[in-house]
Structure formats: structure tokens, C-alpha cells
Amino acid sequence: MSEIESGAMKKATELLTAAEMRAIETAAMDSGAVSGIELMERAGAAVVAAVEEGWPQLARGAFRVVVLCGPGNNGGDGFVIARLLRERGCEVELYLLGEAVGLPRDAQANCDRWREMGAVQPWPAKLDGQADLYVDAVFGAGLSRPVGERVVAPLAGVPPERIVAVDAPTGLCMDSGRVLGSAVSAAVTVTFHAPRPGHYLADGPAHCGRVICSSIGLRGEGPRRAVRVDAPLVPVLKSADGHKYSHGHALVLSGGSGRTGAARLTARGALRIGAGLVTLGVPGAAQLEVAAQSTGVMLTRVDGPEAFSKVLEDERINALCLGPGLGRDRARSLVPVALEAGTRRAVVLDADALSAFADAPDALFARLHPGCVLTPHGGEFARLFPDPAKQLAEEPARGPALSRLDVARAAAERAGCTVLLKGPDTVIARPDGMCAVNAARYARSVPWLATAGAGDVLAGFIAGLMARGADAFGAAATAAWLHVECALQFGPGLIAEDLPESLPAVLRQLDQAAGRIRAGSAAEESSTPLQ
């Protein structure tokens, strides 16, 4: 089953690192439930099934396949694939990197079985590129160092449309999606049991083509330290019995005259996502400008910290958003008020509210609490968390490589709150290490979302969900997911203003899907709580 294209109503899919996957395999083998050789047979069969689906000309005969096997169990899968394709009548050539004598036991056994039907040829410098299909079974989960030119050279001239990768394209780190040295680009990548972070993060999607995750009969779950967001993690549809005060009150702080647009976008996002009330806190000089441009959003005058404290005496205001268009000076004076000890309101800090503390991030971190969300893009992240950002920028010397999950986790732990690191592979991390990936990749790719003001709307979505009572992590992950859904809904030509206005259609679809589940048609698809 293709995880990406299944359209299942699951809230989230666990993403397993190579080590977590290995632990599941080992536990299954140790329990006697399955042997390594059986798992390898199933893995090979899953790849062949994907090939039959993706290359229907195979069934018509005269299909020439080249299988490239590496020195580990990924190569072991390759021997199985070669045998099964030969049994289906394909013409198969097989090349091995290194010597067969050093193969691990299960791979060795499959190498021996293959030898009964075909030759094991030494590694070629180059291939003619004329075969119908090339199977990349060189390295998978065991990639431990940068891949040299000699390894990828045979596939250099082969178009990706004719390459299927086993578990991962060779050279791609499955934990991080980063390329170690050089990497193969495939049309289809077949992975087993659960997808891996590297299929979604960084360069992963550019190299994987399409990802198919196949069951190989393993039962175990991992520690659930990382998930891919597939649907809202917190409730977004309103219950029938609520009223506006039961949906919270979000306050968005605006910048001065001529700089209020960003906060207005944020406020609109908070309102559309269902906060009961949304107020813009505006300096006196900008009041007229904001009043003329905002409907549905209330206004209150917030000139400085004193006025802000006064406004916060209203305890019904339960979520704050500071940053979009705020200006750094205003951020420096207002953010401490928002974070004042004892108030424990939900606080979203974005843009200027992050940049304002670039010189003294520790002063900010000391005030943050678990009800806060920081929403940095890459540049803001690097200013607040220079060490992990620097490590991530370095060329990886070994696998598994440091990932965006690792650095977002480190940042969340350091800050003591949820951190949402923006990108086409947005990562949301909680201080306890839990991570969610909102991948705007593959069928959810939305390049048109890279538009001015889109981030302001995202901050508003988060603040609005938190006003409605969602926890910081759930709100951030859900907002990120809905943000991409809105962009998909609207399509190319999108500008930031369109995002909140696209939300009703997205929510309607969720409502319809929920209705179908209530009616029982999708009762099979349950969700697992994220704890």
C-alpha cells in the first residue's frame, strides 16, 4: 500500500529511524515470529509487486532488468528480487559491489540461490542504460559513510524513471533525508513496515520519486518519537453546544502605522480557525488604519508594556500571538509582558518576536513555558539556536546523519517549549523529544505557499487553535497541516490572504470525512493518540 497515496483517515503515521526499525526486526526474530530470511523474502517480494504495478510492460515479456547489489542486507533483498523477476520471465543481470564471501548470512543464502539461475558479475564502471529497469539494492538502512563515485557511477546515465530503490536510494540517509557523498535518484522507493524520516525530510523526496511502504508482516510499533502528520491532531470542528466564549479569545499584537498588514493576516487566521474572539492590540497611531481594514476582529489600544499588562487583566484572553509586523523594539518591550510568570497563557512567538532576541536568546528561553510555540524559519532558527543550526549545515561525514528532527528536538529542549521549524518539511518538536513532520512533499507539494505573509497566517492558525484549548504541540502540528491543505485547496496563484479564506472548504471536507466515519464507512481507520 502506498502510504502517501492511501488517503487514509489516520491522524499520524509513525516514522521509524533505521535503529528503531532494526530493533523491531530483531525483536520479531528473537521472538521466533519470523526469521531474517523470511523477512528478506517478503521485502524482495514487496519490491517485485511494486515493479509489476509501476512497470506493467513486465507482464508483456522481453523485460530486461539490471540488479545492483551492495555488501549488506540491502544487497540481500536485491538477490531475492533478481530471483523473483527471473522466475517471472525477465532477463536479469546482477552486479555485486565487493566480494560475495563477506556477505551477511541471509544475503549469502540468497546469493547462493541466485547463483543457481544466474551469474554474479563484478561491479561495472558504467552501464549501457538500455535495460527496462534498474534495481538499486546497494545501500539502505546501513549507510554509514559517504558514498564514493565508483558506487553510483553505473547508474549515472540511467534516467530515474527506470530506477526502483530498495528501502532508500543509495546514498540517501534514511534518518535525515540528507545525501552522504552522492545519491541515486529513483522513480519509486519501496520501504518496509513504516516510512522513515528521510523519505520526507531534506533531499529525501527529490531522490525517492514516489514512496511505497509495504507490510512485511512485522507487528511491532516503535517508540513513537516521530510521526508524519496526516490529519488534524487536535479537534478543529466545533461541537454543537459551544458559544463564542467557550472557543477562547486570541490577542494578536500589531506593529505601528503602515506595518499592520502582517498582524491583520494573523488575526484573520486565528478567527477563521475558530477562536471565539480575536482582538488586535494596536498602537494608537495605527488604530484608524486597522479599523478601516478589519472586520470580525476587535481592536484594543496597546501602546506599550503598561497598556499591554492592563489589557491582560482580562483573563478571558487565553492566547497571544506576537511577532508578525511587530517591529523589534516593540517586541523587546512586549514579549516579556506576554511571558510574565504566573500568567501561563498560550503564547505564539513568530518573526520579530524571535529576531528581537537573537542577541540574547537565553533571556528569552528563561521566560518560556510549555504553553509557548516558537515558529522560526531557517534563518531565525539559526539566530536563536546557532549551535545545532551550524552542525546541520556541515557536510555529514557519517550515517546516520544529523537531521532536522534532531536539531528541532534540541531546540525545543533548550527553549522549554514547542518549536516549529518551517520549511517544505516542517518539523514540530516538543521539549520531551516528540516530533511531528508536516511534509509538503510528493502529492502535498505546494511551491506556491512560499509567498509573503503565509507565515503570519500560520502563526494565527496556531494561536487560534490554542485559544480553543489545544496544547502547544497539537496546535502547531495541526495548524501546519491545515496551512498546507489550504494551499492545496487554493492552488497556484495563492497569496497569503487566500489561506484563511480557503480554510472553510478544508474544514468542510474534514466534516464530511468525519461524517462518513460516524456513518461507519471508514470505521476501520482508527487513530492512535500521541502521548
| C-alpha–C-alpha distance, residues 394 and 248, integer Å | 44
17 binds ligand NAX (CB under 6 A): no
Minimum CB separation of residue 307 from ligand NAX in Å reads 59
| C-alpha–C-alpha distance, residues 188 and 168, integer Å | 9
Minimum CB separation of residue 37 from ligand NAX in Å reads 8
Sign of the CA dihedral 119, 105, 34, 69?
Answer: negative
Pick 198 or 500: Cβ nearer ligand NAX: 198
Evaluate whether 232 touches 11 at the Cβ level (below 8 Å). Answer: yes
Minimum CB separation of residue 147 from ligand NAX in Å reads 4
Among 12, 39, 212, 466, binds ligand NAX (CB under 6 A): 39
Pick 148 or 223: Cβ nearer ligand NAX: 148
Residue 456 assigned to a binding site: yes
| C-alpha–C-alpha distance, residues 362 and 517, integer Å | 47
Minimum CB separation of residue 186 from K ion in Å reads 8
Minimum CB separation of residue 168 from K ion in Å reads 5
DSSP 56: G
Q: Give the torsion through C-alpha atoms of 35, 40, 42, 45, to 10 deg.
A: -160
334 binds ligand NAX (CB under 6 A): no
Which cell is 184 given? 541515486
Which cell is 122 given? 563484478
Among 136, 167, 485, 498, binds ligand NAX (CB under 6 A): 167
Among 155, 166, 334, 389, binds ligand NAX (CB under 6 A): 166
| Chain positions contacting K ion, by CB under 5 A | 136, 140, 165-166, 170
Helix (H) or strand (E) holding 418: strand 418-421
**Which x/- pattern over 58-87 shows residues binding ligand NAX (rule: CB under 6 A)?**
------------xxxxxxxx----------
Question: Binding partner of residue 40 among ligand NAX, K ion, none, CB under 5 to 8 Å per kind?
Answer: ligand NAX
147 binds ligand NAX (CB under 6 A): yes
Question: Binding partner of residue 136 among ligand NAX, K ion, none, CB under 5 to 8 Å per kind?
Answer: K ion
Binders of ligand NAX in range 97-116 (CB under 6 A): 104
Helix (H) or strand (E) holding 282: strand 277-282
Pick 81 or 417: Cβ nearer K ion: 81
Query: Quick one: which of 161, 160, 185 has its CA closest to 171?
Result: 185
Question: Binding partner of residue 70 among K ion, ligand NAX, none, CB under 5 to 8 Å per kind?
Answer: ligand NAX
Residue whose C-alpha cell reads 516514522 in the numeric block:
15
Among 141, 194, 446, 459, binds ligand NAX (CB under 6 A): 141
| C-alpha–C-alpha distance, residues 189 and 208, integer Å | 5
Decide: residue 30, CB within 10 A, 0-12 exposed, 13-18 middle, 19+ buried. exposed
Strands 425-429 and 435-439: antiparallel
| C-alpha–C-alpha distance, residues 144 and 156, integer Å | 21
Cis check for the bond before 504: say yes or no (omega within 30 of 0): no
Q: Give the torsion through C-alpha atoms of 483, 487, 237, 511, to 10 deg.
A: -150
Binding site for (6S)-NADPHX: what residues are annotated?
Answer: 73-77, 140-146, 167, 262, 325, 377, 456
Binding site: what residues are annotated?
Answer: 73-77, 136, 140-146, 167, 170, 262, 325, 377, 422-426, 455-456
Binding site for K(+): what residues are annotated?
Answer: 74, 136, 170
Residues that bind ligand NAX (CB under 6 A): 25, 36, 39-40, 43, 70-77, 104, 139-147, 166-167, 192
Binding site for AMP: what residues are annotated?
Answer: 422-426, 455
